[in-house]
Every structure is written in C-alpha cells, then in structure tokens.
Amino acid sequence: MENNEVKAEQAVGMPRIGDKAPEFKAVTTQGEINFPSDYSGKWVILFSHPADFTPVCTTEFITFASMADQFKEANCELVGLSVDGLYSHIAWLRTIQEKIEYRGHKNVEVKFPLIEDITMEVAKKYGMIQPGEDTTKAVRAVFFIDPQGTVRSMIYYPLSLGRNFDEIYRALIAMQAADEFGVATPADWRPGDDVIIGPAGSCGTAKDRMDGKEDMTCQDWFFCQKPIAKDEVLSKILKK
Ligand code: BEZ
C-alpha cells in the first residue's frame, strides 16, 4: 500500500456542519457517557487534545476548566478526549491540580469528563486523527454540538498551537444569538455589537430597507444591520 493510502485509511470519516453528531458510548473520568444523548437539550463542546502530560495541553485544560462555569451559564457542557487511558487521565488531572500554575490559575480541578479512547474509535469517528499531522495522536479539534445533537461548527488546530478559548466562547454565544434572534453575526461580533439581517426578501423588501422603514440600517440592499443591546442578548442566553 502506498503511504498516502495508509494515511487515508487511518483517517476515517469526519462530521460536517449540519450533520447529526456521531453517537458513541465511552468511559470518562466522570463515569460512562452516551454521546450525544446524555447532553440532549444542552450545547456541548467535544474537544480533543494530543496527549496527557504535555505542556500545551496542560495550559489548555487549565484555561478551559477555569472557564467551565462560564460555559455552564451559557447552557454548554465540556467533554474532552485523547487517545490515552483512564488512569493516565486521572494522574495527569491530579498533577495539574496539585502542581501546575498557568496565568494566575492554580489548584484547578477539571470537573468535566475526559474520555479515554485508547482504541481511537471515537477520535476516528470525529476526524480527530489527521495522519499528515500525527498518526497516533488526536489533533486539537473543537466540535460545537447544539441541543438537538447537530454539529454546528468545528475548529481544528495543529499539535503545536494552543487554542484561543475566548474565541471558542465567542463563537458559542454568537451561534446562540443567531438562533435566538434569527440574525447573523458579523466579523469579530460580540454581544452589544450590531447584528446582520438576512438578505432582502427574507425580512422586509429591499425598498423598505433602503427607505429606512424597518428597524435596521442598510448601506446597500445586501448590507443591513440592526442593534441588539448587550443586556438583551445576554438575558436570553445566560442562565441566571
Ligand atoms: C503539547 O501539548 O505540548 C504537545 C502535544 C503534542 C505535540 C506537541 C505539543
């Protein structure tokens, strides 16, 4: 078999935006989970890291764990995965809590489940093994799965690049706001910024838009925005 054929065989399917999240049952540091059914009615971020006891992953876990309550408030649970075994996960998370400080966070307890995936069954289902990068470690994948179990977005990073968790949180809130208000969000959007209204025909006529008859500002027929106050966005999305 040619090298490329071997690599293609190792990288089984990859869910796409709009697909139902592939189902699996797994052992985690918090007990067994059935995915995604255990998370029905909630958003869930399923993410992979290359290996336990590695430095970049350690900084990522400290950062994610320190933001876990923030994600919970946005009705979102976190689930990690690597192709390591359960006892490695437990030992690594204990070491992080007992010894490692990163950006002022210390004594950090990782309370969200971390999946053991020695067989790579789950990692392969989610396209987390990308053989051009590494044949035995998962890349840094992030899957956003909505309360109906649909994959809404995914981000992949190579082994050497630690993720930006502010962006992961921003993307979650932006997708929730888009669902809640029936709008789209522009580049770098954050709650309180103007949102984008869909194309003419989907919401008022182009003439009404250009005449300023609707609650929106149009610079041209295709480019209409409207304000939504930060409080309004956050009060709809965040649990009190
Ligand atoms: C890390 O997390 O530090 C790491 C893991 C795998 C390859 C390179 C870096």
Residue 143: beta bridge partners? Answer: 46, 154
Ligand 1 center–CA 106 separation, angstroms: 20
Quick one: pLDDT at residue 176? 97
* Average predicted confidence (pLDDT) for the chain: 92
Q: 53, 54, 130: which to mutate for ligand 1, most atoms within 8 A of CB?
A: 54
- Cβ 83 under 6 angstroms from ligand 1: no
Task: Quote the DSSP letter at residue 119.
Answer: T
Ligand 1 center–CA 28 separation, angstroms: 21
More confident residue, 12 or 182: 182
Quick one: pLDDT at residue 123? 98
CA distance linking residue 177 with residue 154, whole number of Å: 17
Q: What is the mean pLDDT of residues 107-121?
A: 98
Is residue 200 over pLDDT 60?
Answer: no
| Least confident window among 2-6, 41-45, 144-148, 232-236 | 2-6
Quick one: pLDDT at residue 215? 82
Q: Give the largest CA-CA distance in the chain.
A: 65
| H-assigned helices in the chain | 3-10, 55-66, 68-73, 86-99, 121-125, 165-181, 206-210, 230-237
Is residue 170 over pLDDT 80?
Answer: yes
Task: Please name each of the domains of the chain with its CATH number.
Answer: 3-164 (3.40.30.10), 182-237 (no CATH)
Share of the chain above pLDDT 70, in %: 88
- Cβ 51 under 6 angstroms from ligand 1: yes
Quick one: pLDDT at residue 71? 98
3-state secondary structure of 136: coil
Is residue 8 over pLDDT 50?
Answer: no
Quick one: pLDDT at residue 209? 60
* Ligand 1 atom closest to 55 (CA): 3
Share of the chain above pLDDT 90, in %: 85
Q: 91 vs 1, 117, 119, CA distance in Å?
A: 39, 16, 20
Ligand 1 center–CA 83 separation, angstroms: 13
Is residue 1 over pLDDT 60?
Answer: no
pLDDT tens-digit series, residues 61-103: 999 999 999 999 999 999 999 999 999 999 999 999 999 999 9
Closest residue CA from atom 7 of ligand 1:
159
Q: What is the mean pLDDT of residues 163-185?
A: 97
Q: 52, 53, 56: which to mutate for ligand 1, most atoms within 8 A of CB?
A: 56
Residues whose CB is less than 8 angstroms from the CB of residue 194 and which lie 6 or more positions away in sequence, other chains included: 186, 217, 225, 226, 227, 228
pLDDT tens-digit series, residues 22-64: 999 999 999 999 999 999 999 999 999 999 999 999 999 999 9
Is residue 201 over pLDDT 60?
Answer: no
- Cβ 59 under 6 angstroms from ligand 1: no
Closest residue CA from atom 2 of ligand 1:
56
Closest residue CA from atom 1 of ligand 1:
56
Per-residue pLDDT band for 239 (boundaries 50, 70, 90) equals confident
